[in-house]
Structure 1
Amino acid sequence: MTDQPTPGEKGDTEPELDPLDAAREALSRARLAARGKGLRPGQQPRVRRKYDIPRDDGGRDPVGLADQMERLLVERGWRVDVAAGSVLAKWPQIVGPDVASHTHATGFEDGVLTVRADSTAWRTQLSYMTSTILAQIEAEIGADIVTELRILGPSAPSWNRGLRKVHGGRGPRDTYG
Protein backbone atom coordinates (compact mmCIF):
# COMPACT_ATOMS: atom_id res chain seq x y z
CA MET A 1 0.00 0.00 0.00
CA THR A 2 0.93 3.65 0.17
CA ASP A 3 2.50 5.61 2.94
CA GLN A 4 0.06 8.53 2.63
CA PRO A 5 -2.67 8.76 5.24
CA THR A 6 -6.27 8.95 4.14
CA PRO A 7 -8.24 12.11 4.88
CA GLY A 8 -9.62 12.22 8.37
CA GLU A 9 -6.78 10.18 9.86
CA LYS A 10 -4.51 11.63 12.48
CA GLY A 11 -1.67 11.93 10.04
CA ASP A 12 -3.18 14.92 8.07
CA THR A 13 -0.43 17.35 7.22
CA GLU A 14 -2.70 20.36 6.42
CA PRO A 15 -2.84 22.71 9.38
CA GLU A 16 -6.22 24.27 10.14
CA LEU A 17 -6.51 27.97 9.27
CA ASP A 18 -7.52 30.25 12.04
CA PRO A 19 -10.55 32.53 11.26
CA LEU A 20 -8.38 35.63 10.92
CA ASP A 21 -6.24 34.06 8.20
CA ALA A 22 -9.37 32.81 6.40
CA ALA A 23 -10.81 36.33 6.39
CA ARG A 24 -7.54 37.78 5.05
CA GLU A 25 -7.45 35.22 2.27
CA ALA A 26 -11.10 35.91 1.31
CA LEU A 27 -10.43 39.66 1.29
CA SER A 28 -7.41 39.26 -0.98
CA ARG A 29 -9.48 37.11 -3.39
CA ALA A 30 -12.22 39.77 -3.44
CA ARG A 31 -9.66 42.51 -4.11
CA LEU A 32 -8.17 40.55 -7.00
CA ALA A 33 -11.63 39.98 -8.49
CA ALA A 34 -12.51 43.67 -8.16
CA ARG A 35 -9.21 44.71 -9.72
CA GLY A 36 -9.93 42.33 -12.60
CA LYS A 37 -13.27 44.13 -13.17
CA GLY A 38 -11.58 47.53 -13.21
CA LEU A 39 -12.78 48.68 -9.78
CA ARG A 40 -10.52 50.55 -7.39
CA PRO A 41 -10.65 50.89 -3.58
CA GLY A 42 -13.17 53.49 -2.44
CA GLN A 43 -14.86 53.61 -5.84
CA GLN A 44 -18.66 53.48 -5.83
CA PRO A 45 -20.20 50.63 -7.78
CA ARG A 46 -21.49 51.84 -11.12
CA VAL A 47 -25.19 51.62 -11.81
CA ARG A 48 -25.98 50.81 -15.43
CA ARG A 49 -28.42 53.15 -17.00
CA LYS A 50 -30.35 52.84 -20.21
CA TYR A 51 -27.85 54.98 -22.12
CA ASP A 52 -24.90 52.95 -20.74
CA ILE A 53 -26.02 49.79 -22.50
CA PRO A 54 -23.93 49.18 -25.61
CA ARG A 55 -25.63 49.89 -28.89
CA ASP A 56 -26.63 47.19 -31.35
CA ASP A 57 -23.62 47.81 -33.57
CA GLY A 58 -21.39 46.81 -30.66
CA GLY A 59 -19.56 50.14 -30.65
CA ARG A 60 -19.38 52.71 -27.92
CA ASP A 61 -18.76 55.58 -30.30
CA PRO A 62 -20.12 58.98 -29.35
CA VAL A 63 -23.51 59.83 -30.80
CA GLY A 64 -24.16 63.22 -32.33
CA LEU A 65 -26.36 65.76 -30.59
CA ALA A 66 -28.91 65.75 -33.42
CA ASP A 67 -29.28 61.96 -33.12
CA GLN A 68 -29.71 62.22 -29.36
CA MET A 69 -32.34 64.95 -29.75
CA GLU A 70 -34.20 62.86 -32.33
CA ARG A 71 -34.19 59.87 -29.96
CA LEU A 72 -35.43 62.05 -27.10
CA LEU A 73 -38.27 63.49 -29.22
CA VAL A 74 -39.40 60.02 -30.24
CA GLU A 75 -39.18 58.57 -26.72
CA ARG A 76 -41.09 61.43 -25.10
CA GLY A 77 -43.69 61.78 -27.87
CA TRP A 78 -42.75 65.39 -28.54
CA ARG A 79 -42.26 65.01 -32.29
CA VAL A 80 -45.65 66.49 -33.24
CA ASP A 81 -45.30 69.41 -30.82
CA VAL A 82 -41.87 70.32 -32.15
CA ALA A 83 -43.07 69.98 -35.74
CA ALA A 84 -46.04 72.24 -34.97
CA GLY A 85 -43.69 74.83 -33.52
CA SER A 86 -41.61 74.73 -36.66
CA VAL A 87 -44.75 75.21 -38.79
CA LEU A 88 -45.52 78.37 -36.83
CA ALA A 89 -41.91 79.56 -37.12
CA LYS A 90 -41.53 78.72 -40.81
CA TRP A 91 -44.90 80.08 -41.94
CA PRO A 92 -43.34 82.76 -44.22
CA GLN A 93 -41.11 80.14 -45.88
CA ILE A 94 -44.01 77.74 -46.38
CA VAL A 95 -46.49 80.14 -47.98
CA GLY A 96 -44.12 82.72 -49.45
CA PRO A 97 -43.55 86.39 -48.60
CA ASP A 98 -46.66 87.75 -50.39
CA VAL A 99 -49.13 85.54 -48.54
CA ALA A 100 -47.19 85.78 -45.28
CA SER A 101 -47.44 89.58 -45.34
CA HIS A 102 -51.26 89.28 -45.12
CA THR A 103 -51.60 86.17 -42.93
CA HIS A 104 -49.99 84.66 -39.89
CA ALA A 105 -50.25 81.27 -38.20
CA THR A 106 -51.66 81.78 -34.72
CA GLY A 107 -51.94 78.33 -33.19
CA PHE A 108 -51.81 74.57 -33.52
CA GLU A 109 -53.88 72.01 -31.64
CA ASP A 110 -54.69 68.36 -32.42
CA GLY A 111 -53.50 68.58 -36.01
CA VAL A 112 -55.44 71.77 -36.77
CA LEU A 113 -53.39 74.81 -37.78
CA THR A 114 -55.16 78.14 -37.18
CA VAL A 115 -54.32 80.99 -39.54
CA ARG A 116 -55.58 84.58 -39.28
CA ALA A 117 -55.90 86.73 -42.41
CA ASP A 118 -55.76 90.55 -42.62
CA SER A 119 -58.99 90.82 -44.60
CA THR A 120 -61.95 88.75 -45.69
CA ALA A 121 -60.55 88.74 -49.23
CA TRP A 122 -57.34 87.08 -48.01
CA ARG A 123 -59.41 84.65 -45.93
CA THR A 124 -61.28 83.62 -49.06
CA GLN A 125 -58.05 83.37 -51.05
CA LEU A 126 -56.47 81.13 -48.39
CA SER A 127 -59.50 78.87 -48.37
CA TYR A 128 -58.91 78.29 -52.11
CA MET A 129 -55.22 77.58 -51.43
CA THR A 130 -55.79 75.12 -48.55
CA SER A 131 -54.74 71.96 -50.39
CA THR A 132 -51.62 73.66 -51.78
CA ILE A 133 -50.64 74.97 -48.36
CA LEU A 134 -51.14 71.55 -46.74
CA ALA A 135 -48.95 69.97 -49.44
CA GLN A 136 -46.23 72.57 -48.82
CA ILE A 137 -46.39 71.93 -45.06
CA GLU A 138 -46.07 68.21 -45.69
CA ALA A 139 -43.04 68.78 -47.91
CA GLU A 140 -41.34 71.19 -45.46
CA ILE A 141 -42.18 69.65 -42.07
CA GLY A 142 -43.44 66.11 -42.61
CA ALA A 143 -46.53 64.05 -43.22
CA ASP A 144 -49.49 63.82 -40.82
CA ILE A 145 -48.45 66.80 -38.72
CA VAL A 146 -51.08 69.27 -39.94
CA THR A 147 -54.33 67.56 -40.95
CA GLU A 148 -56.60 70.59 -41.22
CA LEU A 149 -56.27 74.30 -41.86
CA ARG A 150 -58.65 76.66 -40.01
CA ILE A 151 -58.65 80.10 -41.60
CA LEU A 152 -60.01 83.05 -39.64
CA GLY A 153 -60.83 86.48 -40.96
CA PRO A 154 -59.89 89.75 -39.32
CA SER A 155 -61.23 90.39 -35.87
CA ALA A 156 -63.98 93.01 -35.96
CA PRO A 157 -63.98 95.96 -33.58
CA SER A 158 -66.42 95.84 -30.69
CA TRP A 159 -69.37 98.17 -31.11
CA ASN A 160 -70.76 97.58 -27.61
CA ARG A 161 -69.67 100.98 -26.27
CA GLY A 162 -68.90 104.38 -27.62
CA LEU A 163 -70.34 106.81 -30.16
CA ARG A 164 -71.01 104.18 -32.81
CA LYS A 165 -73.09 101.88 -30.65
CA VAL A 166 -76.28 100.85 -32.41
CA HIS A 167 -79.30 100.09 -30.23
CA GLY A 168 -81.47 98.38 -32.81
CA GLY A 169 -80.35 95.88 -35.47
CA ARG A 170 -76.87 94.95 -36.53
CA GLY A 171 -75.71 98.37 -37.62
CA PRO A 172 -72.14 98.80 -38.89
CA ARG A 173 -71.17 95.24 -37.90
CA ASP A 174 -72.91 93.71 -40.91
CA THR A 175 -69.89 94.51 -43.13
CA TYR A 176 -67.46 92.30 -41.18
CA GLY A 177 -66.92 88.61 -41.37
Structure 2
Amino acid sequence: MTDPVKDFFDRVRSNSKNAPKLNKPAPKMNVDAPKEPRKYQVGRPTGLDGRRLRRSLDVPSLGAALSKEISRRGWESDLADGWVMGNWTNLVGERIAAHTKPERIKDKVVYISCDASVWATELRYLQRQILKKIAERLGPDVIVELRIQGPKQHRNYQGRQWVKPQGSQDTYG
Protein backbone atom coordinates (compact mmCIF):
# COMPACT_ATOMS: atom_id res chain seq x y z
CA MET A 1 0.00 0.00 0.00
CA THR A 2 1.39 3.40 -0.94
CA ASP A 3 1.34 6.52 1.12
CA PRO A 4 -0.82 9.21 -0.61
CA VAL A 5 1.03 12.10 1.07
CA LYS A 6 4.43 10.81 -0.04
CA ASP A 7 3.09 10.26 -3.58
CA PHE A 8 1.74 13.83 -3.65
CA PHE A 9 5.07 15.36 -2.60
CA ASP A 10 7.00 13.19 -5.08
CA ARG A 11 4.70 14.40 -7.87
CA VAL A 12 5.10 18.06 -6.84
CA ARG A 13 8.90 17.71 -6.69
CA SER A 14 9.10 16.10 -10.12
CA ASN A 15 6.88 18.80 -11.70
CA SER A 16 8.73 21.75 -10.17
CA LYS A 17 11.31 23.70 -12.20
CA ASN A 18 13.94 23.48 -9.52
CA ALA A 19 13.38 19.97 -8.27
CA PRO A 20 15.53 18.92 -5.32
CA LYS A 21 17.80 15.95 -5.81
CA LEU A 22 16.92 13.88 -2.79
CA ASN A 23 18.46 10.64 -4.02
CA LYS A 24 21.87 12.19 -4.63
CA PRO A 25 24.53 10.46 -2.54
CA ALA A 26 26.22 12.44 0.18
CA PRO A 27 29.73 13.61 -0.64
CA LYS A 28 32.35 11.24 0.65
CA MET A 29 34.86 12.43 3.13
CA ASN A 30 38.43 12.17 1.98
CA VAL A 31 39.98 10.51 4.99
CA ASP A 32 43.08 9.28 3.19
CA ALA A 33 44.54 12.69 2.18
CA PRO A 34 46.12 14.62 5.03
CA LYS A 35 44.64 18.04 5.67
CA GLU A 36 46.79 21.12 5.64
CA PRO A 37 46.94 22.58 9.08
CA ARG A 38 44.97 25.80 9.43
CA LYS A 39 46.94 28.84 10.37
CA TYR A 40 45.39 30.27 13.46
CA GLN A 41 46.44 33.49 15.03
CA VAL A 42 47.38 32.98 18.60
CA GLY A 43 45.51 35.54 20.67
CA ARG A 44 44.14 38.82 19.44
CA PRO A 45 46.06 41.24 17.25
CA THR A 46 47.41 44.08 19.35
CA GLY A 47 48.96 47.44 18.77
CA LEU A 48 52.34 48.67 19.97
CA ASP A 49 50.95 49.46 23.41
CA GLY A 50 49.52 45.95 23.86
CA ARG A 51 45.87 46.93 23.53
CA ARG A 52 43.58 45.07 21.18
CA LEU A 53 43.26 46.54 17.69
CA ARG A 54 39.82 47.61 16.62
CA ARG A 55 38.17 45.99 13.67
CA SER A 56 38.13 48.20 10.63
CA LEU A 57 34.63 48.51 9.26
CA ASP A 58 35.51 50.81 6.35
CA VAL A 59 32.81 53.22 7.41
CA PRO A 60 33.23 56.66 5.83
CA SER A 61 33.87 59.54 8.18
CA LEU A 62 31.05 61.91 9.03
CA GLY A 63 32.78 64.75 7.20
CA ALA A 64 33.13 62.68 4.03
CA ALA A 65 29.49 61.58 4.19
CA LEU A 66 28.30 65.15 4.76
CA SER A 67 30.39 66.62 1.95
CA LYS A 68 29.12 63.93 -0.43
CA GLU A 69 25.50 64.66 0.51
CA ILE A 70 26.03 68.43 0.26
CA SER A 71 27.49 68.12 -3.23
CA ARG A 72 24.74 65.70 -4.27
CA ARG A 73 22.05 68.17 -3.26
CA GLY A 74 23.86 71.20 -4.70
CA TRP A 75 24.20 73.14 -1.44
CA GLU A 76 27.83 74.26 -1.92
CA SER A 77 26.98 77.85 -2.86
CA ASP A 78 24.49 78.22 0.00
CA LEU A 79 27.05 76.96 2.50
CA ALA A 80 29.68 79.27 1.04
CA ASP A 81 27.31 82.21 1.46
CA GLY A 82 26.64 81.19 5.04
CA TRP A 83 30.36 80.94 5.71
CA VAL A 84 30.91 84.51 4.51
CA MET A 85 28.06 85.81 6.68
CA GLY A 86 29.17 83.83 9.74
CA ASN A 87 32.89 84.63 9.49
CA TRP A 88 32.61 88.31 8.62
CA THR A 89 34.54 89.29 11.75
CA ASN A 90 37.44 87.00 10.78
CA LEU A 91 37.49 88.36 7.23
CA VAL A 92 37.63 92.09 8.01
CA GLY A 93 38.77 92.24 11.63
CA GLU A 94 36.85 93.10 14.78
CA ARG A 95 37.22 96.87 14.49
CA ILE A 96 35.71 97.09 11.00
CA ALA A 97 33.16 94.33 11.65
CA ALA A 98 31.74 96.37 14.53
CA HIS A 99 30.72 99.10 12.03
CA THR A 100 29.89 97.03 8.94
CA LYS A 101 27.41 94.26 8.28
CA PRO A 102 26.89 91.96 5.28
CA GLU A 103 23.18 92.31 4.49
CA ARG A 104 22.69 89.66 1.80
CA ILE A 105 24.45 87.68 -0.90
CA LYS A 106 22.87 87.54 -4.33
CA ASP A 107 24.39 86.42 -7.65
CA LYS A 108 27.93 86.16 -6.21
CA VAL A 109 27.72 89.73 -4.86
CA VAL A 110 27.89 90.58 -1.14
CA TYR A 111 25.85 93.66 -0.19
CA ILE A 112 27.39 95.39 2.83
CA SER A 113 25.97 98.27 4.87
CA CYS A 114 28.17 100.56 6.97
CA ASP A 115 27.49 102.80 9.97
CA ALA A 116 29.29 105.79 8.48
CA SER A 117 30.80 106.78 5.17
CA VAL A 118 34.27 106.60 6.75
CA TRP A 119 33.83 102.85 7.31
CA ALA A 120 32.50 102.43 3.78
CA THR A 121 35.63 104.10 2.43
CA GLU A 122 37.86 101.94 4.62
CA LEU A 123 36.09 98.82 3.39
CA ARG A 124 36.50 99.91 -0.23
CA TYR A 125 40.26 100.14 0.36
CA LEU A 126 40.27 96.57 1.75
CA GLN A 127 37.91 95.14 -0.88
CA ARG A 128 40.62 93.36 -2.91
CA GLN A 129 42.14 91.75 0.19
CA ILE A 130 38.73 90.57 1.44
CA LEU A 131 37.88 89.01 -1.93
CA LYS A 132 41.29 87.32 -1.94
CA LYS A 133 40.67 85.80 1.52
CA ILE A 134 37.24 84.53 0.41
CA ALA A 135 38.72 83.01 -2.77
CA GLU A 136 41.45 81.25 -0.76
CA ARG A 137 38.91 79.72 1.61
CA LEU A 138 35.98 78.94 -0.70
CA GLY A 139 37.52 78.87 -4.15
CA PRO A 140 37.45 81.29 -7.07
CA ASP A 141 34.20 82.69 -8.47
CA VAL A 142 32.16 82.04 -5.32
CA ILE A 143 32.06 85.74 -4.40
CA VAL A 144 33.14 88.12 -7.16
CA GLU A 145 32.12 91.55 -5.88
CA LEU A 146 31.45 93.54 -2.72
CA ARG A 147 28.77 96.25 -2.97
CA ILE A 148 29.49 98.65 -0.14
CA GLN A 149 26.81 101.14 0.90
CA GLY A 150 27.18 104.01 3.32
CA PRO A 151 24.66 104.87 6.00
CA LYS A 152 20.99 105.08 5.10
CA GLN A 153 19.61 108.60 4.82
CA HIS A 154 16.71 109.23 7.17
CA ARG A 155 13.71 111.24 6.05
CA ASN A 156 12.68 114.19 8.16
CA TYR A 157 9.08 113.34 7.55
CA GLN A 158 7.99 110.14 9.25
CA GLY A 159 4.94 108.76 10.92
CA ARG A 160 1.33 108.06 10.09
CA GLN A 161 0.15 111.68 10.24
CA TRP A 162 2.50 113.03 7.60
CA VAL A 163 0.84 114.20 4.37
CA LYS A 164 2.79 114.65 1.17
CA PRO A 165 2.77 118.35 0.20
CA GLN A 166 0.99 119.32 -3.01
CA GLY A 167 2.42 121.48 -5.76
CA SER A 168 5.82 123.05 -5.93
CA GLN A 169 7.75 123.56 -2.74
CA ASP A 170 8.82 127.07 -3.72
CA THR A 171 8.41 129.24 -0.61
CA TYR A 172 10.15 132.30 -2.02
CA GLY A 173 8.47 135.02 -3.95
Shorter-chain TM range is: 0.5 to 0.7
When residues 19 and 140 of structure 1 are mapped into structure 2, their CA distance, relative to the original with a 3 A threshold, is same
1:83 and 2:75 are equivalent in the alignment: no
When residues 27 and 70 of structure 1 are mapped into structure 2, their CA distance, relative to the original with a 3 A threshold, is farther
CA contact (8 A) 2:114 2:150 kept: yes
1:69 and 2:66 are equivalent in the alignment: yes
Equivalent residue number for residue 128 of structure 2: 131
Structure 2: distance between partners of 1:25 and 1:60? 40
Secondary structure at the counterpart of residue 143 of structure 2: coil
When residues 166 and 74 of structure 1 are mapped into structure 2, their CA distance, relative to the original with a 3 A threshold, is same
Number of residue pairs aligned between Structure 1 and Structure 2: 124
Structure 2: distance between partners of 1:128 and 1:99? 12
Structure 2: distance between partners of 1:28 and 1:127? 84
Name the % identity. Answer: 29
Secondary structure at the counterpart of residue 22 of structure 1: helix
Structure 2: distance between partners of 1:75 and 1:25? 45
When residues 157 and 63 of structure 1 are mapped into structure 2, their CA distance, relative to the original with a 3 A threshold, is same
Root-mean-square deviation over aligned CA pairs? 3.2
Shift of 1:130: 1.1
Alignment of 1:8-157 (within 5 A): 19-22=11-14, 26=18, 28=20, 61-157=58-154
User: What TM-score results when the alignment is normalised by the length of structure 1?
Assistant: 0.59
When residues 70 and 166 of structure 1 are mapped into structure 2, their CA distance, relative to the original with a 3 A threshold, is same
Structure 1: distance between partners of 2:164 and 2:18? 98
Structure 1: gaps (5+ residues): 1-16, 30-58, 170-177
More helix by share: 1
- Residue type at the aligned position of 1:20: V
Structure 2: distance between partners of 1:136 and 1:123? 19
Structure 1: distance between partners of 2:77 and 2:86? 14
Secondary structure at the counterpart of residue 18 of structure 2: helix
